[in-house]
Amino acid sequence: MIRRKSVAPRPSVKEGSSNQGCPSQPSSQPQPDSTTQHVDAPKSSESNSSQWRIFDIFKSVPNDSKKAADTNESSEESRKRGTSEKESYVKGCCCCGTVVTYPARSKKFLCTVCHTTNLLDSRNINSAETGNHAPPFISFKLVKDMLDKCLAEAQKSNANGEPKSTHQIFEPLSTYLFDSFSNFACLNGSFKIKKSSKKLHYSTSNIDIRDIHATFNLLTSLPTKRPLFKALYGASELLKRVDVGCENDPRNLKWLLILLEIPFLYKVLISGDTKTKQTCSMIDVSEIKALSYDILKRALGVLSNVNSPFTLNYITWWFAKLDRSVFSSKIDLINLYITFHLKKYFYLANSTQTGRRGSVRGRPGPSRYRGDMEYIDPSSLKDEAIESSSGPLSPGILNLPISQITNSITGLKESKKPDQYCKIKIHQYGNDWHLKTASMVLALFIKANSFRSEASKLPASIFYNSLVDFVNLKMDFDMWQSEKKFNEIKPSDNSEPEIQMIIDYIHGTKNNFKFDDVMSYFFCQFPFLVSLGGKISILEYEARRQMERKAEEAFINSLDKRIAIDVYFRVKVRREFIVQDSLRCIKLNTPNLKKSLRVQFVNELGIDAGGLKKEWFLLLTRSLFSPEAGMFVNVEDSNYLWFSISPAENNEMYFLFGAILGLAIYNSTILNLKFPTALYKLLLNIPVGLDDYRQLYPSTAKNLVTLKNYDSDVLEDLDLNFEISFKDVFGKIHSKELIPNGRHIRVTKENADQYIRCYSKFFMHDGVASQISFFIKGFSTVIGGNALSLFSPEEIELLLCGSDEETLDINTLKSITKYAGWKDQEQASNSIVIRWFWEYLEALSFKEQRKFLLFVTGSDRVPATGLQNLNFKITRLSNGRDSHRLPVAHTCFNELALYDYSSKSKFIQKLNTAVNESSGFGIK
């Protein structure tokens, strides 16, 4: 909280940091606060300048977020305080994070962005839980008993000749549900597994999820919607009045986790057909959907603005301990919520009536319940987009349910690719607090996923949101970088600033470029939402831009110096000395490494259009990884390679290895690497630990961990100290102390944990620190910029090594194959030689299929984004005549050229010979 002396201004709103807490009980019906009034800022110049001093603190805050907020300060208190002591405070809204200024003695303020009343006068929550005024805690048994009682009373009334209406029958239940769901103490203490437990545990939140689901399923089965409506309405009212001072105790946030367990929240995010929409159940009623949406958005908002590390740590562990199916469903729900908002922007971007810069704000919702005017069923926007589109807007993406779009984009195969639609621009979503708060909560699940065991851990692809592929990610990336660099303009690394100035002028990429509107949300801030294909497109975009930049620099330099300067980074090597020649080329051409790569083998014909560099990478890595090089050791326990503690070669070879990996990424080349995840963590500057040691040395790690379970007598008998011995590549034994004077420090039960950490750290980092340093230096020489930081270690491995699929999907390969030399695709597919080819490929073992991929593409791995993104082409030679020549592969273009052989046996013999005996640009 920031404090400034000033005359009390009318509260103002800005985007920024946030703070929040727990809610207070609202009244049974929403009413304006009669004890508060708006306090207008005085008109004196002195007070105005004082107010501007407050705003000067937030110069980087968006201009369009400076909105007024209502104060809730009584006029009587204002008079008592006196003008000499008037002050203004600045605080973030506990729901949307908007920064608000308010008078110092205000007990609450209303955020006009999300309409949440922030209560500043904290209450004693623990005493409120045990108070006599709170309704009984909610449970399925209690609700069921009340329901049975209502039905019994109805039967008694009917017997007495006084029948009641449906609403009258369930009125006691409806009243209880509103009172309990709108009361913090009641809701926060409800649905407990252990009723009397009040202690904090990392292993469980003590919330009975099944009981919550059973309760709401019971309410949805009633003949009237009023009890369900009252329960949701009470929860919505509770979320609109939040105490900002109670976030330091995780137990005060259980009510949020309870509300996120409402089983039908996801249904309000799935749009139906507005023209044929029929109400199938009470959760399809517009009032119920609007209230459910309001609960979801506010619960995510309050949870995302928790700032206490202590509280966040407990919540994250509670998420981590959820069952795999429940954990996955929560991720899907939040992703669905993000998709819900992105889908609106997508329809608006593709609608000519709303315009390219259309906004969904201010558009009326379909519901009669007007408490949340921003809830818009995207299906209405879909109809508008289809009707107003100037071109034929394919319904392929528009007709898909949001749930399908969120988790998979395969539904687009029959319609358009993402690039053929109007992309969602950053000015549409850049200040959307809904996206920001949902992404922040999803980040908690990312951390929770890292806490889960390997067996229950979810893959990174579960967090992808495929609709993000329809966002202009390149603009998002540029704006994200521009925002980071705007306040710190770094001098160019170019030795000739005049040339740099000309290139920046041509590209329009000045460091001080900035949009008029400051954005507060970028997808690059939350890269786990971006699919691997989207990240690769950003990386290629940055790499291509840097390559073009270097080429333009070379061209301009050649004009100035009147000498020819190559626009490519050319590597000329001899096959017999490929390692030495490659190292020499890289060391002599450090300024040119970001140019496009071209490879030439001495005394061999061939123009590098992609194939030569693939073979160069393959041969070079094979030489570096060979046992004769002595750079790496093969760990038999895991079959992974790792840095040799006592390498035979000097550290320059590790510099070469790092540069090779950087060049492979920049030139989109797949390598055959057999390293653990720890290597890719090093590239991202992520520390390695015991889990990485366990992946590399599983048996040794298991034995190390058992040391903690031994008694002191057993450890004494083992006679261990903080010194280890190891062999170098020549078999010589060396000793090394893990800590200073370690040979004289014995391992005991008290220091066993320290010994395990030091032992694993030595083999993973400390013992090979010099090798790792040169490796990272070589990689950093080639790779620069922020694009790589978007990837996780697992994604970097996929990027470098491709997808190590266990089988080759022949049907997928057939679907993406293109043909040349035939009249059309149909004639090619029906030709005899093509039928022989597919039969031949299906009959191969997986090992032989990988060898075929190596022959045609230069790599035995499929692309990281899957086989469907491989470019594969089959060409017919000699206009369909027979030949005694072998088939030809053009690895530059992933192309296989075939003759129309006279028999199937001849075809198989020729193709087998080509695949198994070919090398380079000749035949062995």
* DSSP of 845-873: -HHHHHHHHHHHHS-SSB-TT-GGG--EE
Burial class (CB in 10 A: 0-12, 13-18, 19+), 718: exposed
Tell me how far apart the alpha carbons of residues 93 and 111 are, in angstroms, rounded to a whole number.
7
Tell me how far apart the alpha carbons of residues 290 and 255 are, in angstroms, rounded to a whole number.
20
Q: How confident is the model at residue 86 (pLDDT cuts 50, 70, 90)?
A: low
Q: What number is the average pLDDT over the span 760-766?
A: 92
List every span in the chain annotated with CATH 3.90.1750.10. Answer: 566-688+770-800
CATH class of the domain defined by 805-923:
alpha beta
Tell me how far apart the alpha carbons of residues 645 and 437 are, in angstroms, rounded to a whole number.
46
Q: What pairing do the DSSP bridges indicate for beta strands 67-68 and 12-15?
A: antiparallel
Q: What number is the average pLDDT over the span 450-464?
A: 91
Average pLDDT, rounded, for the chain: 78
Tell me how far apart the alpha carbons of residues 447 and 207 are, in angstroms, rounded to a whole number.
21
Among this protein's residues, is 93 annotated catalytic? Answer: no
Annotated catalytic residue: which of 93, 111, 280, 892? 892
What tens digit of pLDDT does each residue of 217-241 get? 999 999 999 999 999 999 999 999 9
Among the listed residues 213, 210, 202, the one whose alpha carbon sits nearest the alpha carbon of residue 250: 202
Query: Residue 309: is its pLDDT beyond 90?
Result: yes
Q: What number is the average pLDDT over the span 896-911?
A: 91
User: Are residues 868 and 816 in contact, defined by beta-carbon separation less than 8 angstroms?
Assistant: yes
Burial class (CB in 10 A: 0-12, 13-18, 19+), 84: exposed
Tell me how far apart the alpha carbons of residues 54 and 13 are, in angstroms, rounded to a whole number.
12
Position 652 scores a pLDDT of 86
Across 510-535, b (16+ Cβ under 10 Å) vs e yields: eeeeeeeebbbbbbbbbbbbbbbbbb
Position 28 scores a pLDDT of 42
What tens digit of pLDDT does each residue of 158-177 get? 888 888 888 899 999 999 99
Query: Residue 658: is its pLDDT beyond 80?
Result: yes
Position 877 scores a pLDDT of 87
Position 132 scores a pLDDT of 52
Q: What number is the average pLDDT over the span 729-753?
A: 87
CATH class of the domain defined by 566-688+770-800:
alpha beta
User: Are residues 363 and 351 in contact, defined by beta-carbon separation less than 8 angstroms?
Assistant: no
- DSSP states of 255-313: HHHHHTT-TTGGGGGS---TTS----SGGGSHHHHHHHHHHHHHHHHHHHT---HHHHH
What tens digit of pLDDT does each residue of 49-58 get? 333 333 343 4
User: Are residues 653 and 629 in contact, defined by beta-carbon separation less than 8 angstroms?
Assistant: yes
Q: Say whether 598 sits in a helix, a strand or coil.
A: strand
Tell me how far apart the alpha carbons of residues 406 and 426 are, in angstroms, rounded to a whole number.
19
Helix axes 140-159, 209-220, angle to 10 degrees: 30
What tens digit of pLDDT does each residue of 562-585 get? 666 677 788 888 988 888 889 888
- DSSP states of 644-660: -SS-SS-THHHHHHHHH
What tens digit of pLDDT does each residue of 869-881 get? 788 889 988 777 8
The Cα-based distances of 281 to 214, 278, 820 in angstroms read 17, 9, 55
Among the listed residues 474, 355, 479, 482, the one whose alpha carbon sits nearest the alpha carbon of residue 419: 474
Position 62 scores a pLDDT of 43
User: Are residues 583 and 656 in contact, defined by beta-carbon separation less than 8 angstroms?
Assistant: yes
Position 310 scores a pLDDT of 94
What tens digit of pLDDT does each residue of 360-372 get? 444 443 333 444 4
List every span in the chain annotated with CATH 3.30.2410.10. Answer: 805-923
Tell me how far apart the alpha carbons of residues 528 and 442 are, in angstroms, rounded to a whole number.
9
Specify the fold of 692-764: Hect, E3 ligase catalytic domain (3.30.2160)
Q: What percent of the chain has pLDDT over 70?
A: 75
The Cα-based distances of 319 to 205, 326, 811 in angstroms read 9, 9, 39
Position 214 scores a pLDDT of 96
Burial class (CB in 10 A: 0-12, 13-18, 19+), 911: buried
User: Are residues 399 and 274 in contact, defined by beta-carbon separation less than 8 angstroms?
Assistant: no
Q: What number is the average pLDDT over the span 424-430?
A: 90
For the chain, the residue count is 924
Tell me how far apart the alpha carbons of residues 821 and 825 are, in angstroms, rounded to a whole number.
10
The Cα-based distances of 718 to 698, 723, 735, 758, 887 in angstroms read 21, 13, 18, 18, 64
Query: Residue 909: is its pLDDT beyond 60?
Result: yes
Q: How confident is the model at residue 434 (pLDDT cuts 50, 70, 90)?
A: very high
Q: Which has the minimum average pLDDT: 347-351, 479-483, 797-801, 905-909?
A: 347-351
The Cα-based distances of 71 to 93, 112, 419, 749 in angstroms read 13, 11, 47, 60
Query: Residue 418: is its pLDDT beyond 70?
Result: no
What tens digit of pLDDT does each residue of 119-138 get? 887 654 443 444 457 799 99
Position 827 scores a pLDDT of 86
